[in-house]
């Protein structure tokens, strides 16, 4: 009897292992890249969000806006050569925009050269009516964004329309932005003009662009504390099939070397404000991140 039970248990464990093996394999896309496995998607995404539709007293009625800088690159080549199909995370873009819009701030969108914004559509919360409505409203802007290069060259110096720069997350924030010279100029312009900078999840990776023409001692964010997606969690990506291989480079470590401290250890709902830099740890932080950003921007314009 015991022998039969043990044989049955062994068979069950083998079947469970096989099921987990296939459920945790990243899913191939038509262009030869991979999106997260079914198991990873179940762990890391949700069909709804915690957007609470905050009503802001005395919303902004002027012309101040937020400039959102997005990635135009889709595939991240991992350390093993496999490609991860990424972009900007829809919740980390759209949920904060909902709060900014409720507070009276419109959002303009740019990519480095004006190519379309790449979005992790596999992370879209399909049952969230507010997020889906905002995506529909901004779809044309995502498909036809402005050029960051043009803004920096022709408009930035004289512009008084913007109260903040916003860099959403998704691993795509690590593609083409951390080494972008125009973003370097934009971040310095924002900092020098005492504007807010907003960055969530992997978005802080793009802050590395501010170091392109400086060393550790002159890095504008030296000494800052931020909330951001932890390197240690990225290391676990291949184990659950979130990514098809190890990360090609480690952005949090680079920020640490420049004097930035990441305050959270988990990919949780941590948010943080340090001077004019507002950050959040993950999609779980997007609602509170958006509320904090909207509240602080209203304080700024209502001074």
Q: What pLDDT, in 10s, does the model give residues 109-164?
A: 999 999 999 999 999 999 999 999 999 999 999 999 999 999 999 999 888 999 99
- 29 within a domain of the structure (yes/no): no
- 64 within a domain of the structure (yes/no): yes
With both helix axes pointing from N to C terminus, report the angle between 90-102 and 129-143 in degrees, rounded to the nearest 10. 100
Among 41, 109, 186, 201, the one annotated catalytic: 201
- 7 within a domain of the structure (yes/no): no
Instruction: Please report the pLDDT score of residue 217 as a whole number.
Output: 79
The residue-averaged pLDDT of 284-290 equals: 98
- 151 within a domain of the structure (yes/no): yes
Q: How far is CA 255 from the centre of its chain?
A: 16
Structure tokens at 208: 């590395």
Residue 170 has pLDDT above 60, yes or no: yes
- 128 within a domain of the structure (yes/no): yes
Q: Distances in Å between the alpha carbon of 192 and those of 90, 158, 234? A: 30, 13, 32
- 28 within a domain of the structure (yes/no): no
Domain carrying residue 137: 40-301
Instruction: Please report the pLDDT score of residue 213 as a whole number.
Output: 85
Residues 6+ apart with CB under 8 A from 237: 40, 243, 246, 247
Number of domain units in the chain: 1
What pLDDT digit, counting tens, does each position of 52-74 carry?
999 999 999 999 999 999 999 99
Reference 49, options 261, 203, 269, 264; nearest CA is 269
pLDDT band at 188, cuts 50/70/90? very high
- 25 within a domain of the structure (yes/no): no
Q: Is there a catalytic annotation at residue 201?
A: yes
Ranges of beta strands (E only) in the chain are 27-28, 34-35, 65-69, 75-77, 83-85, 106-111, 146-147, 162-167, 196-200, 225-226, 261-262, 271-274, 277-280
Residues 6+ apart with CB under 8 A from 190: 164, 165, 196, 197
Phi, then psi, of 46 in degrees rounded to 5: -145, 150
Residues 6+ apart with CB under 8 A from 247: 78, 79, 231, 234, 235, 237
- 153 within a domain of the structure (yes/no): yes
Look over the chain and give the mean of its residue pLDDT values, rounded to a whole number: 92
The residue-averaged pLDDT of 25-46 equals: 94
Q: Does residue 138 contact residue 272 with C-beta atoms inside 8 Å?
A: no
Stated length of the chain? 303
Q: Supply the pTM of this predicted model.
A: 0.92
Residue 1 has pLDDT above 60, yes or no: no
Instruction: Please report the pLDDT score of residue 3 as a whole number.
Output: 53
What percent of the chain clears pLDDT 70, i.e. is strictly above it? 92
Count of alpha carbons within 13 Å of 17, Cβ hemisphere only?
Answer: 6
Residue 47 has pLDDT above 50, yes or no: yes
The 10 Å Cβ neighbour count of residue 100 is: 27
User: For residues 211 and 225, what is the distance between their CA atoms, to the nearest angstrom?
Assistant: 16
Q: What is the CATH number of the domain that holds 165?
A: 3.40.50.880
């Amino acid at each position: 009897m015991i022998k039969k039970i043990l044989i049955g248990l062994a068979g069950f464990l083998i079947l469970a292992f096989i099921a987990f093996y296939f459920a945790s394999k990243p899913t191939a896309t038509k262009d030869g890249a991979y999106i997260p496995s079914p198991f990873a998607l179940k762990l890391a995404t949700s069909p709804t969000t915690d957007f609470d539709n905050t009503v802001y007293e005395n919303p902004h009625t002027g012309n101040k806006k937020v400039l959102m800088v997005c990635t135009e690159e889709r595939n991240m080549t991992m350390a093993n050569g496999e490609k991860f199909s990424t972009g900007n995370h829809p919740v980390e873009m759209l949920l904060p925009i909902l709060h900014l819009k409720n507070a009276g701030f419109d959002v303009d969108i740019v990519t480095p050269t004006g190519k379309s914004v790449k979005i992790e559509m596999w992370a879209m919360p399909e049952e969230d009516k507010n997020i889906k409505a905002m995506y529909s409203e901004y779809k044309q802007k995502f498909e036809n964004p402005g050029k960051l290069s043009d803004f920096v060259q022709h408009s930035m110096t004289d512009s008084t329309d913007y109260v903040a720069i916003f860099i959403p997350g998704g691993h795509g924030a690590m593609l083409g932005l951390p080494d972008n010279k125009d973003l370097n100029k934009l971040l310095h312009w924002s900092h020098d003009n005492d504007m807010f900078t907003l960055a969530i999840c992997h978005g802080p990776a793009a802050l590395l662009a501010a170091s392109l023409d400086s060393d550790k001692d002159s890095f504008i964010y030296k000494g800052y504390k931020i909330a951001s997606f932890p390197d240690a969690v990225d290391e676990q990506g291949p184990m659950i099939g979130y990514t098809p291989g190890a990360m090609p480079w480690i952005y949090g470590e680079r920020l640490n070397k420049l004097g930035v401290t990441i305050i959270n250890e988990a990919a949780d709902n941590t948010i943080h404000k340090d001077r004019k830099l507002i950050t959040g740890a993950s999609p779980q932080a997007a609602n509170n991140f958006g509320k904090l950003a909207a509240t602080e921007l209203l304080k700024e314009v209502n001074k």
